[in-house]
Structure 1
Amino acid sequence: MIKADLLLTNAEFVTLDSPASAVAVLGDRIVALEEVPAREVIDLGGAVVTPGFHDAHNHMAWFGLTLSEVDCRVTGLGDLYAAVEAAPDGEWVVGFGYDQNKCGGHPTRDGLDRVARGRKVWIKHTSGHMCVVNTPVLEALGLADSAVEVSGGLVVTDVQGRPTGLLQEQAQQLVTPLVLPYPVDTLVDAIDRAGRVYLGEGITSCVEAGIGGGWIGKSPVELEAYHRAREQGRLHVRVELMVAADALHEVVELGLGLDLGLRTGFGDDWLRIGPTKIFSDGSLIGHTAAMCHDFADTPGNHGYLQGDPESLRQQIIAAHRAGWRVATHAIGDAAVDLVLDAYEEAQRRFPRPDPRHRVEHFGVSRPDQVTRAARLGVIPVPQGRFVNEIGDGMLRALGPERSAWAYRQRSLLDAGLTVPGSSDRPVVAGAPLLGMHDMVNRRTSSGAEFTAAEAVTGLEALRAFTHGSAYASKQEHLKGTLSVGKLADLVVLSGNPVTTDRIKDIRVLRTMVGGQFRWSS
């Protein structure tokens, strides 16, 4: 009789599938959910075992890079300027994570100049949808005294027409020639650092939400960084890569694609190409999301699309026709309308079975849009953690009436949609247990209630960060539940997220990927 390699016993097994009294592993697969002969037996001392967590939308390389940048997640501009002033000497000061809603406004070029000691300064907003640079950077760009028009973006100016240093959306790409591409080995180091953090949080799989182009990409050969990390044993979790639509071009006989015809699905269980990533609009807290009505706190401003509507529509349809799954960033309800229109037209003109297209964020969605997404089989990808960390800013931007439409959970499930769990890290903290906690509790960081009617149960939150995310990646046959034949990816916890509303207090004890415990507390 063949023995299992490993048998896990004496635990509460939350399989999200069949009942289990034990979990047996052979190679990288689960082979039994009961006690069977095994070469090694581990008594888990009554801990809780769930499927490994799967972050359906994060920025792994970007997060890894932030671990070596100036932390600007502060509550006052004075603290931000102090952090810049204290940065180690060098040609550049690069910071991340500021939120004008929390620190009292955007930093300015002049404020940064006062503390920079002549260095170039580049401070990135927590949303990733804007940044602030100082005068030496603007001078290098020829923007010290006047702005330029940028399609899908804005060089913000003061009343005299002088650039303030704030660059929104596509205008951020003006800085690209000065700072990008990052060397591949720098990105490998970032991927390594990020993956080690992920294992400690119970993450076994994630989706990297945009590589290779646009303002989101860090290198035109970003895929090589992930491939190299894997070769060197430094890719610690399974990764699906969204390819930025900017990296796609016409390929002979194949339409829109990558050289050699690479597209969605190429790769294996550890590293594979997923959807193509398209940006339709911007940020809610940054007031650049494309809305059907003005923002409540900035009358006259209803955001904007990141491109010509017809061009965005054609891009989505072309990607669908070429066989890509499409993941389109859409936060404002006007952007959601455009994306759903394009998905419906694409499937009508070029039908294919179960395309499983996604709307990343689905940030502000009217009731009719929820119903329509369900009818089209589209996957919404909201971020539960946003409610806590940036919820106060969202409430101000939307006002009380439209806040009820923001970052829904309950109504999506009730409409029959499969909802994945995701963080958008490093926009907010990425630990899945924090995300689950906020899906259940729906409170902002100030303690304000954020549409309690959209709360879900602990079981539904756990299912989102496991089966829901696997489904969003068309990988539910391989992972997302503890089932015989699926990958042995699991997490050992100090408590059960299904039975407590204090999910954030649960500790990760061990993380297994592919039948091996790769992290232990």
Structure 2
Amino acid sequence: MLDLLLRDVRALTMRADHPRAHTVGVVGGVIVGVDDDVRDLPARAVVDGGGATLTPGFTDAHNHMVWYGLSLAELDLSTCRSLDEVYDAVAARAAELPSDAWVVGSGYDDYVLGRHPQRAALERAGGGRPVWLKHRSAHMCVASDAVLDKAGVLDGSARVPDGGVVERDADGEPTGLLAEQAQQLVDALVKPYPVEELAAAVTRAAEVYVREGLTHVTEAGIAGGWIGHSPAEAAAYQLARQQGELPLRVELMPATEVLHPFDAAVGVETGLDLGLRSGFGDDFLRIGPMKIFTDGALSSRTAAVTEPFLGAGGLGVLGDDPDVLRERMLAAHRSGWRIAAHAIGDRAIDLTLDTLEQAQKELPRPDVRHRIEHSAMVRPEHLSRMAALDVVPVPQARFLYEIGDTMHSALGADRIPWLYRQRSFLDAGLRVPGSSDRPCVGTGAPLAGMRSMVERTTKAGLVLAESERVDATEALHAYTTHAAYACRQEDRRGRIGPGMQADLVLLGDDPTTVDSAEIDGIDVLATFVAGRAVHGADTLTWTTGGPAS
């Protein structure tokens, strides 16, 4: 007796031995067979797919779920096209709040606005309330006088963390802009968030994710540094799951700041309490790699590069002293962790590859699958080094559309071929998972990410490194088989076949055959996690059983 039978579907199985299927059977949240193996078996619930396309569930290999969930309750500035619109939005929100309440907004884009919002104008718009606006890249923010005063920026008493930048004008006065680690000056005023508030944020984000076909996401940094929200951030995910409000699978990356040394006699050099490390947990909630920032971002020109940015120049910033970064990664490797190193600029990628090579020489760990998050500016000579180390590059193709024009102006034509590679990675034998970095930059919908992998166009219509395009089938592999590989779970998800988790997406059309411009417009009809419809159940055609079956 099957728990679920999906029939009359056009399944893209992502398997070489059985690439297409029309019937899928599920028992206990696991696929037990396809087509003839299950077609005539009885089932408690039967869904007639009506010829719709079925694919493995999508994975976002790098997102910020809590942060995105929090942003859904914040002032959305992503549609603002002028500074006046930003100030008007702040003033309108401030008018709804008590005199001492914070006005928090996110998603503004200085490239669109012409410059960053200014502290004096924010002070006026907020009516003296603390105003804190987060840049769409998440690597910068602007704050009003009320916030800067509390943070000790105005009187100079604040200690700016290593790798942080407090922008000042020609007279040496703060402009209100804080970049990279300097954002911790504001974070310290509002964090830690209560676990219940973070759990609610997880729930809000999850509701959006399953509507987009996501069945698994990797949370890229929790509990420490400027990226974390609470030392107990993992507990928020546990609480959401306990309450039945975590309908998809999640892998958590602890920030490097929350790993700490152990007594040598323990046999673990660095880790979380109880000696926990990568792999602890189950198929719904588990600990993944250690997350470390080696540099900043391209949009803020804080990525660590070997040649200056155009215009304003500069070589960006490293996330900390190089020796500190190197030792943190080496200690993590020696202690059994997988490493997820945020490295965008080519200088940061040099440092990361040098360190990973040293780590493997000192203590070889076959098939460890360390990751380089973003891998944005990969020089040609990096490719062979990455392949030799079997690292997993985690680029965000959608960035090319959302901020590609900004990148072009910052880097110039000579370095554009290095940006967010896809084809070169595959040709080098690397697996490239799909990811969004949501809520940074723009939409995190997987289908939109696939379109950008295929087209590589900017908002202005430029094509960035056409030779790095991939076809739609390869883009679908990025969000399924390659993403599962990046999490060391290719043995149980990312494909449709016996023994695989019944995480599935029913689509209104086939993303591998439609025109590329139509990929992101395909309807997600239903999303299944462990054989349960977590989205679209009420719209499916149930010939036996129903949504609760």
- Please report the TM-score for the alignment, with normalisation by the length of structure 1: 0.98
Quick check: 249-258 or 55-64, which moved more? 249-258
1:306 maps to what in 2? 319
**How has the CA–CA distance of structure 1 residues 41 and 150 changed in structure 2, closer, same or farther, with 3 Å as cutoff?**
closer
Quick check: 455-464 or 395-404, which moved more? 395-404
Counterpart selection for 2:191 from 173, 177, 180: 180
1:53 maps to what in 2? 58
Alignment of 1:177-326 (within 5 A): 177-252=188-263, 253=266, 254-299=268-313, 301-326=314-339
Q: What one-letter code is carried by the residue in structure 1 that aligns with 2:253?
A: M
Distance 2:337 2:137 in 1: 26
Q: What's the CA shift for 1:251?
A: 2.2
Write the deviation string for residues 252-296 of structure 1: whole angstroms up to 9, x where unpaired: 321100110111000000000000000000010110000000112
Q: What's the CA shift for 1:353?
A: 2.1
Does residue 139 (structure 1) correspond to residue 139 (structure 2)? The answer is no
Counterpart selection for 1:42 from 22, 42, 47: 47
Distance 2:324 2:161 in 1: 16
Contact 1:145–1:163, Cα closer than 8 Å, also in 2:
no
Does residue 89 (structure 1) correspond to residue 103 (structure 2)? The answer is no
Q: What one-letter code is carried by the residue in structure 2 that aligns with 1:115?
A: A
Same amino acid, percent of matched pairs: 52
2:67 maps to what in 1? 62
Distance 2:326 2:289 in 1: 16
Structure 2 residue ranges without an equivalent (≥5): 540-549
Q: What's the CA shift for 1:114?
A: 1.8
Q: What's the CA shift for 1:163?
A: 0.7
Q: What's the CA shift for 1:148?
A: 5.1
Does residue 111 (structure 1) correspond to residue 121 (structure 2)? The answer is yes
Distance 1:358 1:212 in 2: 20
Distance 2:171 2:306 in 1: 30
Q: What's the CA shift for 1:145?
A: 4.6
- Please report the TM-score for the alignment, with normalisation by the length of structure 2: 0.93
Counterpart selection for 2:386 from 373, 392, 407: 373
Q: What one-letter code is carried by the residue in structure 1 that aligns with 2:335?
A: A
Contact 1:296–1:398, Cα closer than 8 Å, also in 2:
yes
Write the deviation string for residues 304-354 of structure 1: whole angstroms up to 9, x where unpaired: 101111111111010000000000000000000000000110011011221
Distance 1:308 1:36 in 2: 63
Contact 2:160–2:185, Cα closer than 8 Å, also in 1:
no
Q: What's the CA shift for 1:149?
A: 4.5
Which secondary structure does the structure 2 equivalent of 1:480 belong to? coil
Which secondary structure does the structure 2 equivalent of 1:22 belong to? strand
Does residue 122 (structure 1) correspond to residue 166 (structure 2)? The answer is no
Contact 2:140–2:179, Cα closer than 8 Å, also in 1:
yes
Which secondary structure does the structure 2 equivalent of 1:363 belong to? coil
Q: What one-letter code is carried by the residue in structure 2 that aligns with 1:46?
A: G
2:29 maps to what in 1? 28
RMSD: 1.1
Which secondary structure does the structure 1 equivalent of 2:14 belong to? coil
Distance 1:189 1:363 in 2: 32
Distance 1:383 1:355 in 2: 22
Write the deviation string for residues 484-507 of structure 1: whole angstroms up to 9, x where unpaired: 101000000011111121211211
Distance 1:479 1:36 in 2: 25
Q: What one-letter code is carried by the residue in structure 2 that aligns with 1:36?
A: D
Q: What one-letter code is carried by the residue in structure 1 that aligns with 2:262?
A: V
Structure 1 residue ranges without an equivalent (≥5): none
Distance 2:323 2:159 in 1: 23
Quick check: 285-294 or 35-44, which moved more? 35-44
Quick check: 38-47 or 59-68, which moved more? 38-47
Which secondary structure does the structure 2 equivalent of 1:404 belong to? helix
